[in-house]
Structure 1
Amino acid sequence: MMNTLEQTAHATGENGTVTNCPFQSTAQITGLDHREYPYWHVLLKGRHIGVHRPDDRICNWVARTLRTDGKYRQKCLGPALDLSKPSITYDLAISRAFEWFETGAVSALSVTPEQVGRVTRLCVCPIGDTYTVGHAMADYLEWSKLARSPGGHYNNLTLMNYHLVPEISGIPIEEFSARHLQALAQTVLERPPKRGFENPRSRVDPDTLTTDEIRRRKRTFNSLVTILRTVFRYAWESGRLQSERSWKCLNRVSVNHQPRTIFLTRTECASLIEACGPSLRQLVLAALYTGCRVGELGELRVEDVARDGFGISVKAFKRGPARFVFLPAEGMTFFLNACQGKDPMSHIFLSTEQKPWKRQHTLQFRTAVAKAKLPKEFVFHGLRHTYASDLVANGASLDTVAKQLGHANTLTVMNTYGHLAEAVREMQVQQCFSQLSPERDDCSEQNIARFKAIRDKEDPKNWREKGRPTTDTTLPRSPLARPSAEVMQVFSKLPGEH
């Protein structure tokens, strides 16, 4: 007899997530390639069933749950193929999985299971004749669903549901003021970010936040202000908002930009490539040769290679136009070899499931990063940063890098990608500084020994930290934002300069 969780999974989606599993039969399981980590299928949020097939000797059903601390707990359910032991059926594996999900120790430490699927609507149903902020957000989302990209619309929707709906959705839009924005700023500081499908965490004391955490929360607050300005403007253009007072108080706060500093040396690139499986290795190499995003690489087809010159034609992505990315000779060789034997309209890079790459690289890439002993914060986008930093470090102009990456101007490159590793910066200063006083060009053994003593203090394992200035402020050098006094009070009370 099915328990409550299993009944929910059978009722989720068009045919039920249990029925939709792509590896139920022996033939389907046999067709799975060998790999170190399991193939997973989502049954409910935080509840998965999978097949672990690392080689010809092992093939097991496995289940996992997402714990409240953001980590997974995994259990072997039994053999999936008749190898050393008799196999169990998919139905029996499902039954064992849900039985394990419901055990007290597992259930108590796991997130609340919910039906699978992205949120598609505002988590509030505004009613009544008084036009509230909730009404305005609902009207704006109807327009946004048609006018914006799916990703942009979804990001706004999740931010609204997590931050705006609980705090301000019931406020009449004509009465919205800086006082409400002040309360929102305080809430953003206290509320930890929500990652994926995890349950909301307890609020924190803003005084305990680090500078980086405050910086991220200020950026979140600015995103919310941008959303509200768009929502209020849409309401004003629709004739639902008469006064500009509620609109005028929506000003952003000043926050400095923290450029990405995690990128790889060529030795580290080789380690990462070695740690990847065959399909992911091709994707990583393509990113290192082009600086393209994973979505751009997933859309590349054979006809896009060398069509307009010595490089690849990248289709329009996000809000950016199409562009042409020039390749080095070894990069062109790589792409030509990857295209051999394929039709012009075929995708060049496919996942282990023979599907175009979209987001299914995340777990595999995280595993490869750990295996290569790279910083755990390094993500796939860091390959794009590695590409740009390597070009800049070897003398490429910011304009060239901007065009290769598809940026509209050099400002983004200068702020985000233009900085070099501090070790490279030091080397260039040593090489490029012209002699000022010959008598200070001391090459004596005593002076060389003093230099060596300084070098020996440096930790080669932490070269990414070298020369990075420590700061307890999130303010840029020249603050341009003009937030209201009420909002400024919230951030000025924090330790440091914010």
Structure 2
Amino acid sequence: MARLVRDSRLESREARLRLKMRQEPYWRLISEGIHLGYYRGNRGGMWHARVRSSDNKRYVKSALAQADDYTDANGKSVLSFSQAQEQARKFASKLYRSDDLEDNKPYTVTSAINDYLADFKANGKKSLYATETQINAHILPPFGEKVISTLTFKQLSAWKNKLATTDKRVRSSKKLNRAQKYISDEDNDEDYQRRRRATANRIITILKAILNHAFNTNRVQSSEVWQKLKPFKNVLEPKIRFLSETETTRLLNACVSDFRLLIRGALLTGARYGELTTLKVGDYSSDNNTVFIHQSKSGKPRHIPLNKEGINFFEQLTAGKKSQEFMFTRSDGKQWKKNYQVRPLEAACNAAKIIPSINFHILRHTYGSALAMKGVPLQVIAAVLGHSDTRVTHKHYAHLMPSYIADVIKEHLPDFGKTEKSNLIKITA
């Protein structure tokens, strides 16, 4: 076993916590060509290794694990000073055996994006196209060639503010190589500004996910710069919109026949557009009277129970079809694809005099709102909508349940004894 190196600055947590925070770790030579480093952050420290390459021209660095500043060492994710020395030597040994110094090249944002998207695809996440679109439009142009370790908070903050003041991009054909156009809001009112800040927050989340992936895979030493970048506040959506029964009737009557089926399916299940358009005939169970969603936004499958009208609808929709056929198809027999719903829904809204026009997701809110107003518990609504927990459900639908909550309290709260009669009489003006 290699000799344990002593260092009064690093070997105790008390001594480490007295060190000043700085951008570069505190390095200690533990063997020839091998340094152990301690980086102190706001939430405790991290151990790092720095190994001189076999050609003696450069160093290869790697984050090892958390230091045992606030948590006892476990030899894996949290290391003591002695354990960190052992892990640094193991890292050096592995590096020397492989003689692979590729990791020592400057790690750019473009490289981080490629690694992040590869992991994104491997995990089968749903929003790959939308994520790539945002990356190509807003992250690659300003940051692609920059080395992550050179990013500054000033750069990120300026980029964040620019995102919030940039007008909405116009959707155009991917086949046409045209300059990007933007929609400018003439009024530039408060709600428009809120929506731009909300969009900026979503893009910031993507960038931070990319950079965090780089940090968690030991490609960069510190995440402190982008952890300081905070999202815009007070950008939550206003009160959730939903359609009344009269409006849904007008909307259905205004739809062309193939699209009407899709709209009706959404209203009877609360399923998302992408969930409905990938349903197969075999996903409807006439035995259980449910529709099975294989993979939702949360990544979890779910069964959606149907009411009497829903059962009749899906019985007719699936009659005479093979189990592997798509349940909802266009009039030409082809599958509904991404964004195919936008124009027919806008046309139907115009014909039905639903102003302003809705997007497809409002049908999902209409389903959830209808259940909430009938007193269905939020846990049930969350389960049928596929929410991972009740926080989102509560935010969207709890305000629709005051009468139900009042009725439940009146029925179940005990009396705690009878109120004594009083001779006092209330005087009313």
Instruction: Note if 1:280 corresponds to 2:259.
Output: yes
Equivalent residues of 1:296, 1:314 under 8 A apart: yes
Equivalent residues of 1:301, 1:346 under 8 A apart: yes
CA distance in 2, matches of 1:145, 1:408: 21
The equivalent residue for 1:156 is 131
| CA 205–276 in structure 1, closer or farther in 2 if over 3 Å, else same | closer
Matched to 1:196, the amino acid is: R
CA distance in 2, matches of 1:329, 1:253: 45
Equivalent residues of 1:338, 1:348 under 8 A apart: yes
Compute the displacement of 1:259 (Å): 4.6
CA distance in 2, matches of 1:205, 1:303: 46
Please state which structure has a larger fraction of its residues in strand.
2
Matched to 1:375, the amino acid is: I
The equivalent residue for 1:265 is 244
Equivalent residues of 2:168, 2:182 under 8 A apart: no
Instruction: Note if 1:363 corresponds to 2:339.
Output: no
| CA 135–389 in structure 1, closer or farther in 2 if over 3 Å, else same | same
Residue in structure 1 matching 2:274, options 295, 299, 318:
295
Instruction: Note if 1:141 corresponds to 2:121.
Output: no
CA distance in 2, matches of 1:438, 1:336: 62
Encode CA deviations 1:256-300: one digit per residue, 9 max, x unaligned: 422553211111111111111111111111111111122222233
Residue pairs, 1:223-238, within 5 angstroms: 223-238=202-217
Instruction: Note if 1:336 corresponds to 2:311.
Output: no
Residue in structure 2 matching 1:385, options 346, 365, 384:
365
CA distance in 2, matches of 1:194, 1:315: 33
The equivalent residue for 1:177 is 152
Matched to 2:213, the amino acid is: Y
Compute the displacement of 1:425 (Å): 6.8
Matched to 1:141, the amino acid is: L
Matched to 1:364, the amino acid is: P
CA distance in 2, matches of 1:287, 1:356: 16
Residue pairs, 1:315-354, within 5 angstroms: 315-354=294-333
Residue in structure 1 matching 2:289, options 290, 310, 321:
310
Equivalent residues of 1:302, 1:345 under 8 A apart: yes
The equivalent residue for 1:374 is 354
Compute the displacement of 1:202 (Å): 6.8
Identical amino acids, percent of aligned pairs: 30
Compute the displacement of 1:205 (Å): 11
| CA 129–364 in structure 1, closer or farther in 2 if over 3 Å, else same | same
Equivalent residues of 2:170, 2:181 under 8 A apart: no
Residue pairs, 1:446-461, within 5 angstroms: none
Aligned residue-pair number: 305
CA distance in 1, matches of 2:360, 2:352: 14
Instruction: Note if 1:416 corresponds to 2:393.
Output: no
Comparing 284-293 and 247-256, the one that deviates more? 247-256
Comparing 391-400 and 335-344, the one that deviates more? 335-344
CA distance in 2, matches of 1:203, 1:405: 33
Matched to 1:267, the amino acid is: T
CA distance in 1, matches of 2:188, 2:225: 30
Matched to 1:185, the amino acid is: K
Comparing 346-355 and 133-142, the one that deviates more? 133-142
CA distance in 2, matches of 1:267, 1:258: 25
| CA 313–164 in structure 1, closer or farther in 2 if over 3 Å, else same | closer
Equivalent residues of 1:174, 1:246 under 8 A apart: no
| CA 426–209 in structure 1, closer or farther in 2 if over 3 Å, else same | farther
| CA 247–294 in structure 1, closer or farther in 2 if over 3 Å, else same | closer
Q: Per the alignment, in what secondary structure is the counterpart of residue 419 of structure 1? A: helix
Equivalent residues of 1:259, 1:416 under 8 A apart: no
TM-score by length of 2: 0.62
Q: Per the alignment, in what secondary structure is the counterpart of residue 336 of structure 1? A: helix
| CA 320–260 in structure 1, closer or farther in 2 if over 3 Å, else same | farther
CA distance in 2, matches of 1:349, 1:271: 21
| CA 161–178 in structure 1, closer or farther in 2 if over 3 Å, else same | same
The equivalent residue for 1:395 is 375
Equivalent residues of 1:173, 1:246 under 8 A apart: no
Residue pairs, 1:234-253, within 5 angstroms: 234-253=213-232
**CA root-mean-square deviation:** 3.4
The equivalent residue for 1:166 is 141
CA distance in 1, matches of 2:403, 2:188: 33
Q: Max radius of gyration: which structure? A: 2
Residue in structure 1 matching 2:171, options 193, 196, 220:
196
Compute the displacement of 1:400 (Å): 1.5
Compute the displacement of 1:428 (Å): 10
Matched to 1:351, the amino acid is: R
Matched to 2:376, the amino acid is: A
Gaps of 5+ in 2: 1-103, 174-178, 411-424
Q: Per the alignment, in what secondary structure is the counterpart of residue 292 of structure 2? A: strand
Equivalent residues of 2:169, 2:181 under 8 A apart: yes
Encode CA deviations 1:74-112: one digit per residue, 9 max, x unaligned: xxxxxxxxxxxxxxxxxxxxxxxxxxxxxxxxxxxxxxx
Equivalent residues of 1:320, 1:406 under 8 A apart: no
| CA 404–141 in structure 1, closer or farther in 2 if over 3 Å, else same | closer
Encode CA deviations 1:355-392: one digit per residue, 9 max, x unaligned: 23333222212111111111233112111111111111
TM-score by length of 1: 0.54
Matched to 2:308, the amino acid is: A
Compute the displacement of 1:136 (Å): 2.6
| CA 300–140 in structure 1, closer or farther in 2 if over 3 Å, else same | closer
| CA 439–217 in structure 1, closer or farther in 2 if over 3 Å, else same | same
